[in-house]
Amino acid sequence: MNHDGVEAMIRSAIGGDVEAGSWVVAHAAKIDDAVLIAMAALLERLPDRLDRAATVAATSRDRQIVAIARAHLEQQRELVDALVRDHLVDYPDSLIVAWIASDAVGRARGPRS
């Protein structure tokens, strides 16, 4: 799948599409896309996935998303707030970061088992 297709699946997962979320999780180990891997880590609550995301992150935007996802998973709320503000100044169209900031990621995952 090309970059636009991956982005579309991430957006669909953010929008609550369960099938897209499953696709993101299933493909996070196969595709070297830092945002895809970070999204899977958020959905699965697996911060260890972020190590690989950090490794494949090629841009400052991607590295920032990985850092925000890590801070979120580690429940560092003040750090998340600060990183989100800085990120959205430079990338106001960053849907995944806005999603994290709104804590919609917690609602999408549902209660922890």
Q: Which residue has the higher pLDDT, 1 or 25?
A: 25
State the total domains in the chain.
1
d(CA 62, CA 40): 14
Percent of the chain with pLDDT over 70: 91
Report how many helices (DSSP H) and strands (DSSP E) the chain contains, helices first. Answer: 8, 0
Residues of the domain holding 42: 3-109
Q: Mean pLDDT, the chain, as a whole number?
A: 91
d(CA 107, CA 54): 25
Q: Tens digit of pLDDT for each residue in 62-93?
A: 999 999 999 999 999 999 999 999 999 999 99
DSSP label at 59? Answer: S
